Amino acid sequence: MKDVMKKDSLTNLWAQGLLMTAVIAVALPLPDIAWAQLSATSANAGSQVFAPAIRILNYACYTIGAFMGIGGIMKLKAHSENPTNTPMSHGIGRCSAGAAFLALPSVIGMLSSTSSSTLSGTAAFQTFTPGFN
């Protein structure tokens, strides 16, 4: 039983090695496709395709964040009027969730700017740190 399992795993390893060799043999003559030489162009094209969806997501985050913040303030007001029935944690939780939703579009913008090929952020950082040039 062990010999059969050992033989199957060895055959599987050989098949994987042959498949990988075939992929490399096909990919080497085609460096533009295989190694993504035009990554900056593909990143910019992807950001243009997803721009409307990101804009809708931003509006949704702002709306949800505003309503959650207002709901949290109302829960904190209810806690101040009657502390025994309404715990403060409900209001704090809603306010923090609202703040997270309000900050999410900025975080998405920072993450999406890392995929661009411009070095404006690096250049701006270097202007404030002249000793590190």
102-116 pLDDT, tens digit each: 998 888 777 767 755
Predicted confidence at residue 43, as pLDDT, reads: 57
Proportion of the chain in helix, strand, coil states, percent, rounded to 5: 85, 0, 15
- Amino acid present at 114: T
Q: What is the DSSP letter of 127?
A: H
Helix ranges, 28-84 (H): 31-34, 39-49, 51-81
Predicted confidence at residue 129, as pLDDT, reads: 46
Residue 74 pLDDT exceeds 90: yes
Q: What is the DSSP letter of 59?
A: H
